[in-house]
Amino acid sequence: MTKAEGGRLTTHVLDTATGKPAEGLVVSLFRIDGDARTLLKTVATNSDGRCDAPLLAGDEFRAGEYELIFAAGDYLRGLGTELPKPAFLDIVPIRFGMAEPTHYHVPLLISPFGYSTYRGS
pTM above 0.85, yes or no: yes
The alpha-carbon radius of gyration of the chain (Å, integer) is 15
Q: Torsion angle, CA of 33/71/45/117, rounded to 10 degrees? A: 70
Neighbours of 61 (CB within 10 A): 22
Q: What is the pLDDT of residues 16-71, one digit of tens each?
A: 999 999 999 999 999 999 999 999 999 999 999 999 999 999 999 999 999 999 99
